[in-house]
Amino acid sequence: EAKLDGGDTCRVFTPEIVAQANLILTMRHRMRRALEEKQFKAHFQPQLDLQTNRVVGTEALARWIDPDGTMVPPGEFIPIAEDYGLIDEICIQVLQDACRWTARWNAMGFGPISVAVNISGRQFHNPRQLMDIVGNALDLLGLPAHLLELELTESTAMSDPENASKVMRLFTDRGIGCSIDDFGTGYSSLSVLKRFALRKLKIDRSFVRDVTTDANDAAICAAIIAMAHALNLKVCAEGVETTDQLAFLREQVCDQVQGFLIARPLPPVDLERLLRDGVPDHAS
């Protein structure tokens, strides 16, 4: 029994609270062990260039693959890893996977093919440390900097535009590309956006979903594509699932698409097979 806050409030640690605390400790312990055993891997989703119909890049998406084969999606472990201070170590494993496979695919002649890695809000606030982690991965695995791209969500970037500018400048100066992820869901100030050292905007999939049936979503997608081009940026549409969505995006001269229509995020050997065999007919 514990007495908190002095006064007359007396809080008791109930069995439920104890169980909850144990669960958290267990999770932390499991993640530590998973890190030691290198269970955090990258899966790769192709990005198709609509001008050339070539896979010009992939996005590396973190997966926790348990020895029993269970796959935990990033939405379930990234926030916890951030709280436990384990995000950097997970990022290192994903980055090393990303750089290793991408260097290989370029060496095999499938290139130039780039890779995009997601940066968490927590890491964003420590640019120097992030730069060390990223620089080490590039050096270790021999990937040229221009083939790496860092994705920062619009809401993270706009939560601290000053810092976002610094981060992007730092990485761009080293030849690494920067893109804004989930664009359209945050609150962008256009005067801020124009000062970012950016390579690409990624249209959030919530706008792509109903693009063929909802006139507002169609207008938003068209406007984002036009604005990106006016600012000399590439634009990639996320979450493309149907041929109708693809046709619309082609018509609007969107540069790249990513989505289940082309391929789901794939284990590296499967992505390699796709590079060899080409994308499915319905996607090109």
Interface residues with ligand C2E (CB under 6 A) are 45, 61-62, 73-75, 78, 91, 94, 118-120, 151, 181-182, 205, 238-241, 258-260, 265
Structure-block tokens of residue 174: 């080293």
* CB contact at 8 A, 48 and 278: no
Q: How far apart are the first and last CA of the chain?
A: 66
Residue 266 identity (one-letter amino acid): L
Of Mg ion, ligand C2E, none, which one does residue 78 interact with (CB within 5 to 8 Å by kind)? ligand C2E
Of 195 and 270, which CB lies nearer to ligand C2E in the complex structure?
270
Contact 240, 262 (CB under 8 A): yes
For the bound state, the minimum distance from the C-beta of residue 118 to Mg ion, rounded and expressed in Å, comes to 5
Measured from the CB of residue 198, what is the shortest distance to ligand C2E in angstroms? 16
The identity of residue 52, as a single letter, is T
Between CA 180 and CA 157 the distance in angstroms is 8
Q: How far is the CB of 259 from ligand C2E (least distance, A)?
A: 3
Nearer to ligand C2E, 107 or 247 (CB): 247
Q: Is 47 exposed, middle or buried (0-12, 13-18, 19+ CB in 10 A)?
A: buried
CA distance 128 to 212: 43
- State the residues that interact with Mg ion by CB under 5 A: 118, 151, 181-182, 238
Instruction: Name the minimum Å distance from CB 202 to Mg ion.
Output: 5
> Measured from the CB atom, is 6 or 75 closer to ligand C2E?
75
Specify the DSSP element, H or E, that contains 119: none
Cβ proximity to ligand C2E, 160 vs 195, nearer residue = 160
Minimum Å distance from CB 75 to Mg ion? 9
Using CB distances below 5 to 8 A depending on partner kind, what does residue 239 bind out of Mg ion, ligand C2E, none?
Answer: ligand C2E
